[in-house]
């Protein structure tokens, strides 16, 4: 299998990775990469996190062609029927992004802004997303930042109502899949200095959204400026969601930017270590995000209970950082994440088998067994 992996890695370098690579992985290695996001079965765990890489139909089509498992649309800022946005400060154009090294890994400088075009244009993109999802080409999930009130103030339900219903209609049948973004810039905002306030948001926001339309809801939990204990409290408070994305980027108050890289993955895995196994009954499905740049890192999240992962930075590197010389950026990234003979998903799962961490069932290794095992007492 090692020899086969080396051969596959070389051969897919020079010609674009086939869309149906999970079937090849299953036949050649006896590895079942099936994963799950928001209750939906997906052929492998790798999706694209919300951001600049899912702003238009063209990007989604390239991702569908590459065989990406899912893509989360750029976050739109909620509005009411009159177009008023209480979070309007986030609906402005992002300055030019810079991909740079930080702490030995890559990060993209990002101020944390949301969608900066009209809501109608976002609805059009959501419509395309619904079609791609129904046709089985690519699971596409819109993302929204809704009004977050101060303690003692009411939620602006008019924004929750208008935005959620419009998205549900644009999306179509059978059920809108939705992410709620608690952006990391919030960590730099005066509003986010209050623990009771944050916990109220995490508890009440899922209820507010569900009151407006039938949705399957994922909450992207932010990395707050507090300690790991509070991060755990946030996860417990958000248990009204169907899935949690763990955890949004860190915030650098000195530079006023959100950042990722090794520091982010370290913090995320440390908190997840405490959540599993079984330490927090009733936590929803988990989707890992932050600092992932190899298949082995995907497995670190999976071993801590994540059934899928959402990457952004790794899909945004300079082209010469990928081993492959053919295919779209998404194909090149997937090629490396899955087939790298040392750090890829296949190599990593075979290594876990050799260590006795993962066992074959019915002759196959199953990616989802990792998360299932994490939820049982070790």
Chain residues in the site for ligand FMN (CB under 6 A): 49-52, 74-75, 97, 108, 110, 114, 143, 181, 220, 248-249, 260, 264, 289-292, 310-314
Looking at the chain, how many residues does it have? 378
Phi, psi of 245, deg, nearest 5: -95, 125
Minimum CB distance to ligand FMN smaller for 159 or for 263: 263
| Residue 52: CB minimum distance to ligand FMN, A | 5
Name the helix (H) or strand (E) containing 179: strand 176-181
Which residues lie closer than 8 Å to 352 by C-beta, 6 or more apart?
Answer: 299, 358, 365, 370
Instruction: Please say whether the beta carbons of 312 and 108 come within 8 A.
Output: yes
Minimum CB distance to ligand FMN smaller for 75 or for 336: 75
Integer angstrom CA distances of residue 143 from 15, 228, 250: 34, 26, 19
Minimum CB distance to ligand FMN smaller for 200 or for 249: 249
Would you give the DSSP letter of residue 94? P
| Residue 364: CB minimum distance to ligand FMN, A | 28
| Residue 48: CB minimum distance to ligand FMN, A | 8
Which residues lie closer than 8 Å to 46 by C-beta, 6 or more apart?
Answer: 68, 69, 298, 308, 309, 311, 334, 337, 338
Minimum CB distance to ligand FMN smaller for 34 or for 248: 248
Burial class (CB in 10 A: 0-12, 13-18, 19+), 202: buried
Minimum CB distance to ligand FMN smaller for 74 or for 200: 74
| Residue 376: CB minimum distance to ligand FMN, A | 28
| Residue 293: CB minimum distance to ligand FMN, A | 8
| Residue 199: CB minimum distance to ligand FMN, A | 20
Determine the residue with CB nearest ligand FMN: 49
Minimum CB distance to ligand FMN smaller for 85 or for 248: 248
Would you give the DSSP letter of residue 224? -
| Residue 26: CB minimum distance to ligand FMN, A | 26
Minimum CB distance to ligand FMN smaller for 85 or for 289: 289
Minimum CB distance to ligand FMN smaller for 5 or for 275: 275
Phi, psi of 158, deg, nearest 5: -65, -35
Instruction: Please say whether the beta carbons of 69 and 78 come within 8 A.
Output: no
Distance CA 250, CA 290 (A): 9
| Residue 314: CB minimum distance to ligand FMN, A | 6
Task: Work out the angle at residue 272's Cα, subtended by the Cα atoms of residues 270 and 275, and round it to the nearest 5 degrees.
Answer: 120
């Amino acid at each position: 299998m090692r020899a086969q992996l080396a051969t596959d890695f070389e051969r897919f370098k020079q010609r674009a990775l086939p869309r149906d690579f999970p079937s090849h992985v299953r036949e050649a290695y006896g590895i079942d990469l099936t994963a799950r996001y928001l209750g939906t079965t997906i052929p492998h765990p790798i999706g694209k996190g919300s951001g600049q890489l899912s702003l238009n139909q063209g990007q989604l089509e390239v991702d569908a062609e590459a065989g990406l498992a899912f893509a989360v649309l750029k976050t739109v800022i909620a509005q009411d029927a009159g177009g008023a946005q209480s979070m309007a400060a986030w609906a402005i154009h992002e300055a030019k992004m810079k991909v740079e090294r930080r702490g030995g890994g890559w990060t993209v400088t990002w101020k944390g802004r949301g969608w900066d075009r009209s809501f109608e244009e976002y609805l059009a993109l959501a419509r395309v997303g619904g079609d791609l999802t129904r046709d089985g080409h690519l699971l596409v999930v819109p993302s929204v930042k809704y009004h977050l009130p101060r303690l003692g103030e009411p939620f602006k339900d008019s924004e929750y109502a208008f935005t959620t219903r419009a998205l549900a209609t644009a999306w179509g049948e059978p059920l809108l899949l939705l992410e709620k973004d608690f952006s990391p810039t919030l960590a730099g905002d005066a509003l986010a200095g209050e623990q009771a306030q944050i916990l109220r948001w995490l508890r009440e926001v899922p209820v507010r959204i569900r009151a407006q339309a039938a949705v399957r809801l994922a909450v992207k939990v932010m990395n707050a400026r507090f300690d790991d204990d509070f991060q755990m409290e946030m996860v417990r408070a958000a248990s009204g969601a169907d899935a949690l994305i763990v955890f949004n980027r860190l915030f650098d108050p000195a530079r006023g930017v959100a950042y990722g890289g090794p520091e982010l993955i370290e913090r995320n895995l440390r908190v997840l270590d405490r959540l599993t196994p079984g330490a927090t009954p009733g936590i929803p499905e988990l989707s890992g995000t932050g600092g992932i740049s190899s298949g082995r890192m995907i497995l670190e999240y999976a071993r801590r209970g994540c059934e899928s992962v959402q990457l952004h930075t790794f899909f945004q590197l300079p082209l010469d950082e990928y081993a492959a010389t053919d295919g779209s950026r998404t194909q090149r990234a997937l090629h490396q994440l899955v087939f790298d003979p040392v750090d890829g998903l296949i190599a990593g799962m075979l290594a876990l088998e050799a260590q006795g961490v993962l066992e074959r069932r019915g002759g196959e290794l199953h990616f989802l067994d990792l998360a299932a095992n994490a939820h049982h007492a070790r």
